[in-house]
């Protein structure tokens, strides 16, 4: 039920300490405070999170879908950028 | 109604626990009535979440009341097989949802009280009640924050939302006094360190309420006259209708389970 008075917000949840906030979805709310509360009620009901970020969807600058070829295809042929040609020592842990 | 009501041996501790349980169940049920009807989807979820918090509190309290009573009743019988006059909830909490402002004002008045009350009850000499209080305090703290934010936005919003919020406050104000009343039985529990004297929380409650209502550019009524009766089973007409819906399944199909 979007109206001009209820802007859209993008929601990011951090599930554990040490992990990054991950985008989980979006919601409508009148302002940032209510957006955090709505995010809590919509996206952390099953214990998913320890921290919430909300960002006005209008603040996001997105890549242009029509630039897909130029933007992303050049990376596909450069498999040497994947760290698969050497062994990672166990001591390094999670990478 | 196909099934007769149970009788409950209301010792002071059983009666006291039932009052707290009935508060949580009745307000939780009222909030559940919003499910699918709230002004926005996000708030639909918020109201249902608060209702589920309260239902959880009610279950623990009913189970404890049944255990203390030790007459073979259980949480379901206490919820589904007591008649209106046996219900002990605050009149405030059985008031109809009205518009969204009325629902929020009711939540705000109660949560501002419940937050203080459960925090104080964490020091109860009764280990079960202290544990329920510790869990409920976090829930009611959030209910207070959520309803406070709404009061400010409704009051300091549009002319329409301001008028509705003020009407809700004016309508519900006379039901707030009952939160701070006790009877002789409950005063015995206070003296024994099992419960907390709600009257001792009134000035702090009033400060919280006045702060938020002021920020919301709303006014508190000056009237000091307060309606009572719920704690003794004398209810408004609304509770009977609520219970007829809440209890219809168990009254019609006794012992039905999922």
Q: Give the residue carrying structure tokens 């390094």.
A: A92
**What number is the average pLDDT over the span A1-9?**
73
3-state secondary structure of A11: strand
* Partners of residue A28 on adjacent β-strands: A8
Q: How far apart are CA B128 and CA B123, in angstroms?
A: 11
Q: How far apart are CA B35 and CA B125, in angstroms?
A: 37
Has the ipTM of the complex gone over 0.90?
no
Nearest to B40 among A28, A33, A37 (CB): A28
Whether residue A1 is predicted with pLDDT greater than 70 in this model: the reply is no
For residue B227, tell me if it sits in a domain. Answer: yes
Structure tokens belonging to residue B138: 């976090």
Nearest to B149 among A27, A34, A41 (CB): A34
For residue B2, tell me if it sits in a domain. Answer: no
pLDDT (tens digit per residue) in B86-96 = 999 999 999 99
Q: Determine the pLDDT at residue B2.
A: 65
For residue B6, tell me if it sits in a domain. Answer: no
Q: Specify whether the CB–CB gap between B55 and B35 falls below 8 A.
A: no
Q: What percent of chain A has pLDDT over 70?
A: 95
Q: Determine the pLDDT at residue A94.
A: 73
> Range of B21's domain?
12-251
| Single pTM value for the model | 0.91
Q: How far apart are CA B55 and CA A76, in angstroms?
A: 54
For residue B53, tell me if it sits in a domain. Answer: yes
For residue B257, tell me if it sits in a domain. Answer: no
For residue B126, tell me if it sits in a domain. Answer: yes
* Confidence band for B1, pLDDT divided at 50, 70 and 90: very low
Total domains, chain B: 1
CATH number of the domain to which B221 belongs: 1.20.1260.10
For residue B5, tell me if it sits in a domain. Answer: no
pLDDT (tens digit per residue) in B116-149 = 999 999 999 999 999 999 999 999 999 999 999 9
The answer to whether the Cβ–Cβ distance between A42 and B146 falls below 8 Å is no
Report the residue of chain A nearest B142, measured CA to CA.
A37
For residue B163, tell me if it sits in a domain. Answer: yes
Task: Give me the phi and psi of A90, to 5 degrees please.
Answer: -55, -35
């Amino acid at each position: 039920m979007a109206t001009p008075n209820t802007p859209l917000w993008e929601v990011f949840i951090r599930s554990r300490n040490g992990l990054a906030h991950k985008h989980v979805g979006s919601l409508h709310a009148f302002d940032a405070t209510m957006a955090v509360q709505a995010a809590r009620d919509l996206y952390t009901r099953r214990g998913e999170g320890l921290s919430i970020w909300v960002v006005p969807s209008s603040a996001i600058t997105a890549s242009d879908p029509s630039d897909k070829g130029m933007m992303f295809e050049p990376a596909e042929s450069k498999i040497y950028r994947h760290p698969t040609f050497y062994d990672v020592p166990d001591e390094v842990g999670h990478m | 109604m196909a099934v007769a009501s149970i009788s409950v041996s209301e010792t002071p501790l059983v009666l006291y626990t039932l009052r707290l349980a009935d508060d949580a169940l009745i307000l939780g049920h009222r909030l559940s009535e919003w499910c699918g009807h709230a002004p926005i989807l996000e708030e639909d979820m918020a109201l249902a979440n608060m209702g589920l918090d309260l239902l959880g509190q009610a279950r623990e309290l009913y189970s404890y009341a049944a255990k203390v009573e030790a007459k073979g009743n259980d949480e379901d019988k206490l919820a589904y097989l007591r008649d209106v006059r046996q219900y002990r909830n605050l009149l405030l909490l059985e008031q109809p949802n009205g518009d969204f402002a009325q629902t929020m004002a009711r939540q705000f008045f109660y949560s501002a009280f419940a937050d203080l009350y459960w925090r104080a009850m964490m020091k109860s000499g009764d280990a079960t009640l202290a544990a329920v209080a510790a869990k409920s305090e976090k829930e009611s703290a959030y209910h207070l924050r959520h309803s406070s934010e709404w009061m400010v936005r409704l009051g300091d919003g549009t002319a329409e939302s301001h008028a509705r919020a003020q009407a809700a406050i004016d309508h519900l104000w006379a039901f707030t006094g009952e939160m701070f009343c006790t009877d002789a039985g409950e005063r015995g529990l206070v003296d024994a360190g099992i419960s907390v004297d709600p009257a001792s929380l009134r000035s702090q409650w009033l400060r919280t309420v006045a702060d938020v209502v002021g920020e919301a550019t709303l006014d508190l009524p000056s009237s000091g006259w307060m309606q009572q009766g719920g704690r003794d089973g004398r209810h408004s007409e609304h509770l009977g209708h609520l219970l007829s819906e809440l209890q219809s399944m168990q009254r019609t199909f006794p012992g039905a389970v999922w």
